[in-house]
């Protein structure tokens, strides 16, 4: 291709990360050669970007990013959810999603009709939210791009104004339609010489004032060669109205052919009235599906009492900064996350954890935004504020999850994308067939069937079937303290038939305490300082227990110890060229450190009590041993029994010793367990269950620690305990905020209920269209002479969407 041809193309620069060598650049260069939409490309290593020349920018950029990421390199991008305004049906969501996806710089876009949001990933150097907003405005939609509390308040105002406007238009349309139907359906009135003119006068404001939005949106869609439900309503009512006007002004056109000049003013008006009524009921019902997220948002107080120079000052919550001292009075909502400094009280955390019993708060206890103080009063130091609080993270997670799409939704989106054009084709075919085979009344009946097919066809019921159920399911989970990251994991949880449990922090409290210790050499201060300092450098919960146990005024922390973590075994510290080991028996065996009879005897005694043993040794001998116990959670046994009663196989994996693992498994009723398992061993075990040739399992892995994170990622459904590590919660698809295992069974039952609701909704929405469209086309006329009235079609269409949303709302009330 010569340079003149290249110059007619568009040039874009895609930023790169972690591309640091010519070798990396050459790998990317080779891979981009396979993308047909790219005319020319250059990997600019010094500028950390790829220059591409293309005539199809949106597709080329999206494919380029996916190829680069598949190679293990990164393209910096922004993922964000924006409220989207003026969606009127599932086809609208599909067309707006297509428009967003076609913008150069957008990597992915997903529009959810049920909660009216657009989840977009884009490259900020190529496109910004303002351009995204403008692209949607061209086809009649809008994007709310401001991200502030004022913007969220304005969104509520917009939704309220939209609903109020819809309600006013519905009432107005019904007021004009009632006398219109009375005339059109009463033989003694409809044949009066003035009847057609009165019906014309009554129908005109309904069609062109109360229903004008249908025509405006249909026009905007047509400019981009797309169609949606507004198009169906506008074309059907517009044709019925125009045909009626013609017959009113020129009745002789039909009477000269010995045919009656029918008018359909009442049909055009009533269709719009009932569609508006259906939309009003649908909006009301959709608002109920998101009640859970509204409840969570309502937990955030607007003001807070801050203590400055020993004086209480009331400030708006947005003004609170980390480090500020906050006073909480009896009955007040806690505004931000922090640590109690003074005072004590009991705090109701049920809205976050799902646990009804208030939690005692004393100095050093954590408190969370949105929870409610009971009778006491206390002061705490703010640590996490704004979007960083636990409540804000929960709200964000639930919103993202409600906006995600279940796998079945992808098929529904494809159907919605071709639904309206298909309906137009069916309507035209029925019209033509009626003209050919319908005799003298063929045109009249054909026109009636054409209008009826357009009216009764409803992509909304199909489009609402999955997302409304997902929204209710996610919200119900959040109310119970179960955070679900996406629709796919909610759907997958139903299929789980094997649960793998980590022991520490999952089955047990995760608060290990030292109950005994023994020195096998003379106890010396230098060795005690080393033991303290090495354990102080570790993040393992067992190390915290040891540090807490031996910490006193005589202990000196030694900072210049070289630390090396030995995953699944323990920790090694090097000080003054001498190595020290703290860990389990396999660690010491690995390094050839002998186990003497006194050590062996003491260790076996403690192991028989289901205690965890930590050994402290130098390069030649064991210096000391520490016995640690971790009590089992009160609810663990019942939770495991519930899972087994559902036919789910339960396994326990632990890095602890065999005796402790066996004792714990016996106490909670687990028959399958493995002890002394490394993090890699946990991955291998999960993979083995998944790949079993005889009985492949759908595996849920439940854990709370960093060492569980890779196994959580490997599992079909990863479930993290909310009081565990942040990494585990980031990796997992679900989080049990309270850490109560009973919630796992609830999560699986919730998944089953939600999937059942989705199937019911999809069945109803599909069967509705499969049955109603042929009937509207007149398929029953040759059998029994039945032709469906366009007015009845409007009623049925309105009810179809409302019934689907109503069925989803029923999910809220199931146990």
Of the candidates 373, 368, 364, the residue with the CA atom closest to the CA atom of residue 353 = 368
CB-count exposure of residue 120 (10 Å: 0-12, 13-18, 19+): buried
**Contact of 64 with 38, CB cutoff 8 Å:** yes
Residue keyed to tokens 């009804």: 356
CB-count exposure of residue 618 (10 Å: 0-12, 13-18, 19+): middle
Of the candidates 571, 565, 625, 564, the residue with the CA atom closest to the CA atom of residue 595 = 625
**Contact of 483 with 737, CB cutoff 8 Å:** yes
Tell me how far apart the alpha carbons of residues 423 and 93 are, in angstroms, rounded to a whole number: 18
Catalytic residue, chosen from 348, 502, 708, 740, is 502
Of the candidates 425, 533, 461, 507, the residue with the CA atom closest to the CA atom of residue 762 = 461
Tell me how far apart the alpha carbons of residues 49 and 585 are, in angstroms, rounded to a whole number: 51
Bridge partner residues of 85 (DSSP): 142
Q: Which two tokens stand for residue 107?
A: 């990597």
Per DSSP, 387 falls in state G
Q: What is the DSSP string of 307-323?
A: EETTEEEEEEGGG--TT
Contacts of 635 (CB under 8 A, 6+ apart): 740, 741, 742
Strands 562-566 and 482-484: unpaired
Active site residue 544: no
Alpha helices in 508-615 (DSSP H): 525-536, 541-550, 585-590, 597-607
**From the CA atom positions of the chain, what is the Rg in Å?**
34
Q: What is the DSSP string of 457-507?
A: --HHHHHHHHHHHHHHHHHHHHHTTEEE--HHHHHHHTT--EEEEEIIIII
CB-count exposure of residue 526 (10 Å: 0-12, 13-18, 19+): exposed
Catalytic residue numbers?
502
């Amino acid at each position: 291709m010569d340079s003149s041809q290249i110059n007619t193309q568009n040039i874009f620069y895609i930023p790169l990360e972690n591309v640091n060598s010519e070798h990396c650049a050459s790998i990317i260069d080779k891979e981009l050669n396979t993308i047909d939409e790219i005319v020319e490309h250059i990997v600019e290593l010094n500028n950390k970007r790829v220059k591409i020349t293309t005539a199809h920018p949106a597709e080329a950029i999206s494919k380029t990013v996916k190829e680069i990421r598949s190679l293990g390199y990164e393209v910096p991008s922004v993922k964000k959810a924006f409220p989207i305004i003026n969606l009127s049906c599932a086809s609208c969501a599909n067309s707006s999603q297509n428009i967003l996806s076609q913008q150069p710089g957008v990597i992915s876009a997903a529009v959810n009709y049920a909660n009216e949001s657009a989840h977009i990933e884009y490259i900020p150097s190529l496109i910004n939210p303002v351009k995204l907003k403008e692209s949607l405005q061209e086809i009649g939609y809008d994007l709310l791009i401001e991200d502030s509390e004022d913007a969220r308040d304005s969104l509520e105002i917009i939704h309220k104004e939209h609903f109020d406007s819809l309600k006013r238009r519905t009432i107005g349309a019904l007021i004009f339609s009632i006398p219109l139907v009375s005339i059109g359906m009463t033989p003694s009135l409809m044949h009066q010489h003035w009847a057609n003119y009165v019906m014309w006068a009554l129908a005109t404001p309904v069609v062109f004032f109360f229903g004008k939005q249908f025509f405006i949106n249909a026009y905007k869609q047509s400019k981009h060669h797309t169609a949606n439900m507004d198009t169906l309503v506008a074309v059907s009512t517009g044709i019925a109205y125009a045909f009626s006007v013609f017959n009113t002004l020129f009745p002789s056109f039909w009477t000269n052919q010995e045919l009656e000049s029918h008018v359909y003013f009442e049909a055009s008006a009533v269709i719009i009235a009932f569609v508006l009524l259906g939309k009003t009921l649908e909006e009301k019902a959709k608002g109920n599906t998101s009640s859970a997220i509204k409840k969570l948002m309502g937990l955030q107080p607007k003001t807070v009492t801050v203590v400055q120079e020993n004086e209480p000052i009331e400030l708006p919550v947005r003004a609170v900064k980390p480090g500020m001292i906050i006073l909480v009075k009896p009955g007040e909502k806690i505004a931000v996350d922090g640590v109690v400094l003074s005072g004590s009280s009991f705090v109701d955390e049920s809205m976050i954890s799902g646990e009804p019993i208030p939690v005692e708060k004393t100095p050093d206890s954590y408190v969370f935004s949105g929870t409610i103080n009971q009778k006491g009063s206390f002061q705490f130091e703010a640590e996490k504020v704004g979007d960083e609080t636990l409540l804000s993270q929960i709200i964000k997670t639930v919103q993202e999850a409600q906006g995600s799409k279940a796998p079945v939704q992808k098929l529904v989106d494809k159907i919605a994308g071709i639904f309206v054009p298909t309906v137009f084709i069916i309507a035209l075919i029925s019209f033509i067939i009626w003209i050919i085979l319908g005799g003298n009344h063929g045109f009249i009946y054909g026109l009636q069937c054409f209008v009826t097919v357009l009216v009764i066809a409803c992509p909304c019921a199909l489009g609402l079937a999955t997302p409304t159920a997902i929204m209710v399911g996610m919200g119900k989970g959040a109310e119970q303290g179960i955070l679900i990251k996406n629709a796919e994991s909610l759907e997958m949880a139903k299929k789980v038939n094997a649960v793998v449990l980590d022991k520490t922090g999952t089955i047990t409290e995760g608060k290990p305490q030292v109950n005994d210790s023994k020195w096998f050499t003379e106890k010396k201060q230098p060795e005690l300082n080393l033991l303290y300092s090495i354990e102080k450098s570790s993040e393992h919960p067992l190390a915290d227990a040891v540090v807490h146990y031996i910490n006193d005024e005589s202990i000196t922390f030694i900072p210049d110890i070289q630390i090396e973590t030995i995953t699944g075994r323990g920790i090694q510290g090097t000080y003054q060229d001498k190595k020290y080991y703290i860990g389990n028996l396999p660690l010491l065996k690995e390094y050839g450190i002998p186990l003497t009879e006194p050590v062996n005897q003491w260790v076996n005694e403690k192991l028989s009590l289901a205690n965890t043993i930590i050994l402290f040794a130098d390069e030649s001998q064991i210096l000391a041993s520490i016995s640690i116990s971790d009590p089992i959670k009160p609810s663990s046994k019942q939770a495991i029994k519930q899972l087994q009663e559902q036919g789910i196989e339960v396994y326990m994996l632990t890095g602890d010793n065999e005796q402790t693992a066996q004792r714990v498994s016996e106490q909670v009723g687990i028959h399958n367990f493995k002890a002394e398992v490394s993090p890699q061993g946990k991955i291998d075990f999960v993979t083995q269950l998944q790949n079993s040739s005889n009985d492949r399992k759908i595996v849920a892995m439940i854990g709370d620690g960093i060492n569980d994170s890779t196994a959580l990622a490997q599992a079909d459904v990863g479930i993290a305990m909310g009081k565990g590590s942040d990494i585990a919660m980031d990796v997992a698809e679900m989080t049990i905020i309270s850490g109560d295992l009973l919630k796992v069974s609830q999560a699986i039952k919730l998944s089953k209920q939600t999937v059942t609701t989705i199937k019911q909704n999809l069945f109803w929405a599909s069967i509705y269209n499969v049955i109603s469209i042929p009937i509207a086309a007149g398929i029953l006329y040759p059998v029994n002479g039945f032709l469906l009235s366009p007015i009845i079609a409007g009623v049925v269409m309105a009810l179809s969407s409302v019934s689907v949303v109503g069925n989803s709302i029923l999910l809220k009330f199931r146990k």
